[in-house]
Structure 1
């Protein structure tokens, strides 16, 4: 599947470039990538909002171009933020409106809405206007709206973006329930731990192209037996990072700022212990904590994106 558009000076650019991806029944697949990688464009094509320039896309065998109405009927879309909700209506009025749009028989609407509000934890707030809801409550209502017509396929576009940790954990539990119920789920997210926890498979995109696909564990193994030395330190500069990257055995170095301190993630092979050499380079700085760990999905993701960029 390919989706092109015209950029500056009329140049043709690829939002999606030859993407091949399949989600099986009862499976959750994560779509990962930096901003502009093509994740949302892929989701929008499956939602029948965009048309592919070439290739095919289908939902349960229904072509999204030739038979968009059927594709929509079997697909639930769960977005983030305020899009898709009417702020001045109550939660229950929002769901009644969408139940009419989905063509749900009138006698089934109220009991189904009550069950969904109970499932997402909004019973007791159903008569409140959505404009008074927190972001987490809106996300719960998005889930209820997306499941109103009992779809077989669910597309989630960054559903936990901006939600507090407790709300995000509860949201992930709700998402897991959809897979246990036999639904197929496509998840786009920037949160690597979320994809690691939820997804059976993940696909990594960059510049519209899929550069890797596999289970979270298989992608972690692509870090080629790396060990990550994590050092929390204060006063690190780019000159320190440059010298650390030049050390024998060091494959990559990441630096994250945390107010008055920084965290260094130094990647090396299992055959080389670089701890002493790293600490020697940081002599004179305030080293707060040193630890070792196995690579995470985020480490694998950064490695894949960096390799592809090179």
Structure 2
């Protein structure tokens, strides 16, 4: 298991040509404690600047923590960095993680040797990964000729070259076409089933809901919530929105709708039919339909929009301090 305890990362105040250091320091990660188990996909979510990428880079041994500890299967990421790197790998969308002057195959061969993958198995492993990410026909083309999506697919193959016990995914589907992103999600799910521990950050929250059994939500480097995507959404008590359209006006309907205790907006649609929009922490669709029919209303349209994980993340993010 990957375990972080009271993790902090602080950057000193920036120095400029006209101002010496002396301003306030920046605390990117602030007392963060997480557990990433093997055999599961764990999410790390938050708005831009929440500290997600910094946290992943510390786990990946690319940054040193200011204070706190991180262990990977009992190995300390600072003292045992070389051993930790053999057990993990990182895939980060939007960052250059392969060499443009090498071909796709040469990149994988190079990184395979860095990870001491036996040469007897490396060639077969490279062919397998190139097939997995849909690049067998571009294997011997220089990466500088690849599109952005092709480079990201090659980065995914690079991240799997050492068959890591733990895979750190920082926006891995950024820039990928929908079919390739779907294939990557299937690969991630399969890896977890095979025992790999995965830590995932993503702005595509449908991706998180599909893959993650447990999610940590951070804001300004602090943990603000954790749980399953369903539990996090339910716990915010954000409103369900129900949109109702009637065939024609029915005076008793307004009284029945108002008795449900929800926030109600009324109006007319493009065809002049009466509409109601209800907002409530509870899903009132069933009660609403029953009440409308009993009041003599004829329902043309009834649509329920429950709160999303994105709504929950936004609600959990504290307002920025006034400077």
> Taking structure 2 as the reference length, what is the TM-score of the superposition?
0.75
In the alignment, does 2:2 pair up with 1:2? no
Distance 1:266 1:61, change over 3 A: farther
CA RMSD of aligned residues (A): 2.8
Moved more, 106-115 or 145-154: 106-115
1:213 to 226, 248, 265: 226
Offset of residue 90 of structure 1:
1.1
Partners of 2:176 and 2:133 lie apart in 1 by 15
| Rg larger for | 2
1:175 aligns with 2:188: yes
Distance 1:190 1:155 in 2: 15
Structure 1 match to 2:178: 165
Q: Distance in 1 between matches of 2:73 and 2:320?
A: 32
Corresponding residue for 2:308? 296
> 1:272: how far off?
7.5
Contact 2:45 2:215 in 1 (8 A): yes
Assess if the C-alpha contact under 8 Å between 2:43 and 2:208 holds in 1. yes
CA separation in 2, counterparts of 1:205 and 1:107? 44
Aligned pair partner of 1:152 in 160, 165, 176: 165
CA contact (8 A) 1:3 1:54 kept: yes
- How much has 1:149 moved relative to structure 2? 1.1
Find the partner of 1:199 among 198, 212, 218: 212
Given the superposition, is the C-alpha separation of residues 267 and 210 from structure 1 closer, same or farther in structure 2, using an over 3 Å criterion?
farther
Query: Relative to 1, partners in 2 of residues 1:116 and 1:166: Cα closer, same or farther, differing over 3 Å?
Result: closer
Shift of the 94–208 alpha-carbon distance from structure 1 to 2, 3 Å rule, reads same
Quote how far apart the aligned CAs of 1:65 are: 0.7
Matches within 5 A, 1:44-123: 44-81=57-94, 83-123=96-136
For the 8 Å contact 2:238–2:312, the answer to whether it is kept is no
| Structure-2 residue corresponding to 1:124 | 137
Going from structure 1 to structure 2, the CA distance change for 1:309 and 1:203 (only over 3 Å counts) comes to farther
Gaps of 5+ in 2: 1-6, 15-21, 245-260, 265-276, 289-300
State the secondary structure of the residue aligned to 1:17: strand
